Amino acid sequence: MQMRGMVEVKAEFDAEQPVIEAIRAGDRFAFDEFVRRHGSWVRGVVFSVLGNRDRLDDVCQQVWTSVWEQVSRLKDSARWRPWLYSLARNAAVDAGRSQTRRRKLARAIADSPGNITGVASHGPDVQAAERKSMVFDAVQGLPPLYREPFVLRHLAGWSYQQISEVMGLPLDTVETRLVRARRMLRSALEGKV
């Protein structure tokens, strides 16, 4: 049966473009859905630049506020992903600059003798939690150059192509950074997890 007025959807159709248009028109439901779909990787971008979770929620709120306020400036809705990535990254960079001293203090606390690894655990759940914490700390410890593509790959599940597109890097460079990120993590975690 055919539906009157139905528009055939082409395979290359980007489902987000109508959503962007709807947000431009002030559609709050569309905005809510957009946040629901992309909130996770935006958080990943912010985290990968900040290197910690201290202000993650605050910065992400700023990002979404910026999306709402600035969506009219996005001339080509097909380029929404790099645009959103830029917003997220810039917000994180600004937050990082203003919070440098606080971040150093947070690291000092995280590395304090109070956070001892290798202490006998009380059970498998505690061991698993310690392991996760160790792994997460190792990811935080990656240089931002390698942390960004690594987080996008592992949190957002992006392909090399998508990472290359938003970060403005050649595919080979994305791959090389992932190789090096994994090398550093192996070096930090081998024998401990």
Residues in contact with other proteins by the rule CB under 8 A: 1-3, 5-9, 15, 18-19, 21-22, 25, 27-33, 35-36, 39-40, 43-44, 47, 53, 56-57, 60-61, 64-65, 67-69, 131-133, 135-136, 139, 150-151, 153-155, 159-160, 175, 178-179, 182-183, 185-186, 189-190, 193
Report in angstroms how near the CB of residue 126 gets to other proteins at its nearest: 16
Q: Which is nearer to other proteins, 67 or 84 (CB)?
A: 67
Q: Which is nearer to other proteins, 99 or 146 (CB)?
A: 146
Report in angstroms how near the CB of residue 144 gets to other proteins at its nearest: 15
Token pair recorded at residue 107: 């690291």
Residue 152 makes CB contacts below 8 A (sequence gap 6+) with: 41, 44, 45, 48, 158, 162, 163, 166, 167
As a whole number of angstroms, the distance between CA 126 and CA 132 comes to: 10
Report in angstroms how near the CB of residue 101 gets to other proteins at its nearest: 23
Q: Which is nearer to other proteins, 93 or 135 (CB)?
A: 135
Report in angstroms how near the CB of residue 180 gets to other proteins at its nearest: 9
Considering only CA atoms, which of 126, 168, 128, 136 is closest in space to residue 149? 168
Q: Which is nearer to other proteins, 145 or 193 (CB)?
A: 193
Say which residue the tokens 């439901």 belong to: 29
As a whole number of angstroms, the distance between CA 177 and CA 159 comes to: 14
Q: Which is nearer to other proteins, 22 or 169 (CB)?
A: 22
Report in angstroms how near the CB of residue 40 gets to other proteins at its nearest: 5
Distance, first Cα to last Cα, the chain: 57
Say which residue the tokens 């917000």 belong to: 91
Q: Which is nearer to other proteins, 9 or 120 (CB)?
A: 9
Report in angstroms how near the CB of residue 52 gets to other proteins at its nearest: 10
Considering only CA atoms, which of 57, 54, 50 is closest in space to residue 90? 50
| Number of CB atoms found within 10 A of residue 59's CB | 24
